[in-house]
Structure 1
């Protein structure tokens, strides 16, 4: 009896006596056995398709939707029915070390992966990550246990062969701020003052794992702008108010509010200030006039008192020397210029 033509493939791969494929037993060549050749062709197809039995894979358990910063996640290593998981370990690729790091190697890794715990309940292999952070993001794999070595210097996850890697992506949305467009360092404060009639342009930015969606609202109004930039042309007084920027990513939302104040033009503002403040004439009437009236009143009162009570002046004296008539006398008579002795001694 002639053997099936398909058995020639067996000879190309397995040799004249036996062939070995991952996850399969040694298959001996049985000439004329079409069943055995068919089984070998099936295993060969699996090998060429990259789906050989026994290749470990990593799956995310009991988690729906995107993985967010702060979540608790669990990864499980799957290696097919009946596989002995005690010979496998969880590893994470470190771009800084350029090697795979065994996560259940001991306490010396806690400085990098302090929130990572590997457990083996009931023959399973689980990896629990609590309070997921940005540095937990990256490539994970389930690989055979390395021999006395925590670090496995192999190529990056894109070039790894023999193990299926799982890329863990972490979404986060942290701070949101408002800036001036096309400004090198143009962060806007809580308040913006604009002259009436001018244009205003503001742009929203956020610290996030990937670009979020932005929209603007105005407090107290059912008004929404689906855009990252806010542009207001020819601002008027009725457009003043509080504008709020919202950033949204994977169910996370952060916002930042900016109050816009609209002032009248410079000339109109001066007229308004003049109308609201007392003028120069009013200032004179209020301060200087009472002082002037008080001075005038004091002058009139002094003149009236002078007229009612005139001052007594002494009688005019005749030029010449007065000498006493006698010693002890209080009266005197006019004497000649050349007299040097009194008339009575």
Structure 2
């Protein structure tokens, strides 16, 4: 079969067939009566083998080795191709993500594009200072990039700057932060709820309410502290638990005090504290912390509970309650 017919039937251009011939990769081995070189069935089979291997991403030198080296191990080459393909996909995915983020920022000019690219590079810098400056930049950083950085940041100062930047963007990053709440990595879940807590919108508050049902204790407590300052009564049980367990107990007591500024909630909070005190399983320090939390809860329910505690069998608890009562009466 002559080169033109081979090209027509195989789909390989005559130019490429001549290139294979010049490289000695696939040469026509026959001759016609007129002296023209002719491809045999075996030659054509080799051409199809070459094209098959090229479709896997092999270079022509790798194809030659695969076809001509009797000691060649296909598994080694396939493993290498898998590695190269993964690296290429990762690189292309990174590029696609960067382009999408630049596009989301809607740059008006190439100068805007260059500024955004510089900020994205800065967010990925090994320097905490550069990452922090990027977060605080006057040039808006794409929200998706901010969320990704906030969920992975380990430096507390940079993390604070990133949360601030996210709060300035309003609710734009909430959907991505909500995905972070479902991460299998505990630290990512914690960073996600901390970032949501900085966003003072109704949607953020609703999301924090949902977090109160999370099995992750750290995430649940962080949400409760934020909700307490927003006047959400659903946070009360978790805040009381935090006082009992001496986990951010001062902050939890402050949050309960803020909630109790609403007259409709003061009895509910006082009753919750009293109910926990009534359980006989608490140790003395826990009962003393609960008594201290009652100090900033207005109303007769809290006062009556403190009066009862002033006669408590535990001297430390009784003295704490007595002192608090004196302060309340002096007001």
Task: Tell me the TM-score range normalised by the shorter chain.
Answer: under 0.3
* TM-score under structure 1 length normalisation: 0.26
The TM-score normalised by the length of structure 2 is 0.27
* Structure with the largest fraction of strand: 1
